[in-house]
DNA sequence: AATGACGTCAACCGCCAGAGT
DNA sequence: AACTCTGGCGGTTGACGTCAT
């Protein structure tokens, strides 16, 4: 079959972006919005491939990006999230506002790996190097046994099982999303109580509890006021 | 001052999933 | 059903800066 490349190789700039290119890209996206990256370069008058434009925008030009050093809190959050989901940088980035997957990936490879090793932990498994697998309390799940890509819901978020919560009590991986006009609620005890207002009765909860074959884990289903809640579970696979 | 080693990070590459035809 | 297109992701590369000798 064969797939045409995302861009013609000829007449395409590669390498570092110039200020002028950045300005062109920003101006175009401000005027026309994101979308159709393939045709964007031509429309914006850029000699770049669409992928390159997208990457530049996502990783560097997009408003709201935090530049600069990661805080200690961000460090710890990245470590915890990596322990849960492995190298799913986009998922991790989704939990760190203003940070990009590329930035986190680089930061992981350059800083956090070393940090974990200096703690005597294997950055891949989060277990003590040459470690004792029996001691799992408080140690995040190994990346290899972490949530698989298809364990994630469509919106790219994962929920937290009670086990996860035990490991990382301060970690919010709640999957709950809402229809337009109804903000998602945090997975607190309050959130588990019947929501108020008709809009929240349409809440779509994509609670996604690993290893659950039945729906008992989602507290929102227990509430008769949340009868319009839709839920999604991944069936258990063999060996789980 | 020169230069080689090392660290950082922006950007590229290849693959995949999902939507469209 | 088969194929194509597009967006998105993770892994890798290479240019550049900094440090050590």
| Residue range A157-178, pLDDT digits in tens | 444 444 454 555 555 555 444 4
Q: Do residue A204 and residue A176 come from a single domain?
A: yes
Return the structure tokens found at A93.
Answer: 């980035």
Residue A211 (CA) to nucleotide C12 (C1'), in angstroms, measures 34
In CATH, what number is assigned to the domain containing residue A119? 1.10.10.60
Q: Is the pLDDT of residue A116 over 50?
A: yes
> For A147-166, what is the mean pLDDT?
42
Residue A144 and residue A125 in contact, taking contact as beta carbons nearer than 8 Å: yes
Which nucleotide lies closest to A60 by the C1' atom and the CA atom?
A: B10
Q: Do residue A159 and residue A238 come from a single domain?
A: yes
Which nucleotide lies closest to A85 by the C1' atom and the CA atom?
A: C10
Q: Do residue A163 and residue A240 come from a single domain?
A: yes
pLDDT at A127: 81
pLDDT at A107: 92
Measured at the CA of A165, the angle between CA A152 and CA A70, to 5 degrees, comes to: 75
Q: Is the pLDDT of residue A194 over 70?
A: no
In a domain, A103, yes or no: yes
In a domain, A79, yes or no: yes
Average pLDDT, chain A: 64
In a domain, A237, yes or no: yes
Residue A76 (CA) to nucleotide C15 (C1'), in angstroms, measures 30
Separation between Cα atoms, residue A219 and residue A23, nearest integer Å: 48
In a domain, A89, yes or no: yes
Q: Is the pLDDT of residue A81 over 70?
A: yes
Of the candidates A91, A118, A146, which is a domain's last residue?
Answer: A146
pLDDT band, residue A225 (cuts 50/70/90)? very low
Nucleotides of C under 7 A from a protein CB: 3-12, 15-16
Separation between Cα atoms, residue A155 and residue A176, nearest integer Å: 10
- pLDDT tens for A24-38 read 999 999 888 887 888
Asked whether residue A109's C-beta has any atom of DNA/RNA strand C within 7 A, the reply is: yes
pLDDT band, residue A118 (cuts 50/70/90)? confident
Q: Do residue A56 and residue A76 come from a single domain?
A: no
In a domain, A14, yes or no: no
Q: Do residue A41 and residue A118 come from a single domain?
A: no
In this structure, the number of other CB atoms found within 10 A of the CB of residue A90 comes to 14
pLDDT at A131: 56
Return the structure tokens found at A156.
Answer: 């790219």
pLDDT at A171: 56
Residue A44 belongs to domain spanning: 19-61
Segment holding A73, helix H or strand E: helix A72-85
Q: Do residue A161 and residue A101 come from a single domain?
A: no
Residue A141 (CA) to nucleotide C14 (C1'), in angstroms, measures 34
In a domain, A52, yes or no: yes
Cα-Cα-Cα-Cα dihedral sign, residues A81, A84, A90, A91: negative
In CATH, what number is assigned to the domain containing residue A56? 1.10.10
Separation between Cα atoms, residue A210 and residue A204, nearest integer Å: 18
Only one residue has tokens 């800083």, namely A111
Only one residue has tokens 């940070």, namely A99
pLDDT band, residue A10 (cuts 50/70/90)? low
3-state SS, residue A69 = coil
In a domain, A213, yes or no: yes
| Residue A121 phi, psi dihedral angles, 5° rounding | -110, 145
Closest residue to B6 measured CA to C1′: A110
DSSP state of A223: -
In a domain, A10, yes or no: no
Higher-pLDDT residue of A198 and A85 is A85
Largest CA distance in chain A: 61
Q: Is the pLDDT of residue A3 over 50?
A: no
Q: Is the pLDDT of residue A59 over 50?
A: yes
pLDDT at A167: 53
Residue A183 (CA) to nucleotide B6 (C1'), in angstroms, measures 47
Separation between Cα atoms, residue A164 and residue A61, nearest integer Å: 35
Asked whether residue A155's C-beta has any atom of DNA/RNA strand C within 7 A, the reply is: no
Asked whether residue A36's C-beta has any atom of DNA/RNA strand C within 7 A, the reply is: yes
pLDDT at A193: 36
Of the candidates A146, A171, A190, which is a domain's last residue?
Answer: A146
Residue A41 (CA) to nucleotide C19 (C1'), in angstroms, measures 40
Q: Do residue A114 and residue A197 come from a single domain?
A: no
Measured at the CA of A224, the angle between CA A220 and CA A225, to 5 degrees, comes to: 80
pLDDT band, residue A153 (cuts 50/70/90)? very low
Picking from A69, A111, A106, the residue whose alpha carbon sits closest to that of residue A87 is A106
Report the number of distinct structural domains present in chain A: 3
Residue A143 (CA) to nucleotide C10 (C1'), in angstroms, measures 14
Q: Is the pLDDT of residue A205 over 60?
A: no
């Amino acid at each position: 079959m064969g797939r045409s490349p995302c861009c013609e190789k000829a007449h395409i700039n590669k390498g570092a972006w110039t200020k002028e290119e950045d300005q062109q890209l920003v101006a175009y996206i401000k005027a026309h919005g994101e979308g159709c990256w393939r045709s964007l370069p031509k429309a914006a008058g850029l000699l770049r491939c669409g992928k390159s434009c997208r990457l530049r925008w996502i990783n560097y030009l997009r408003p709201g990006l935090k530049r600069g050093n990661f805080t200690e809190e961000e460090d710890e959050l990245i470590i915890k999230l990596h322990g849960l989901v492995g190298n799913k940088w986009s998922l991790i980035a989704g939990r760190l506002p203003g940070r990009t997957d590329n930035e986190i990936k680089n930061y992981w490879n350059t800083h956090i790996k070393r940090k974990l090793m200096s703690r005597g932990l294997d950055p891949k498994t989060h277990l003590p190097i040459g470690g004792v697998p029996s001691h799992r309390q408080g140690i995040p799940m190994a990346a290899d046994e972490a949530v698989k890509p298809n364990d994630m819901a469509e919106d790219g978020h994962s929920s937290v099982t009670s086990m996860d919560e035990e490991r990382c009590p301060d970690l919010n991986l709640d999957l709950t999303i809402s229809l337009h006009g109804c903000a998602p609620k945090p997975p607190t005890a309050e959130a588990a109580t019947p929501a108020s207002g008709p809009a929240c009765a349409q809440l779509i909860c994509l609670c996604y509890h690993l290893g659950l074959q039945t729906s008992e884990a989602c507290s929102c289903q227990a509430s008769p006021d949340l009868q319009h809640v839709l839920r999604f579970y991944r069936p258990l696979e063999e060996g789980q």
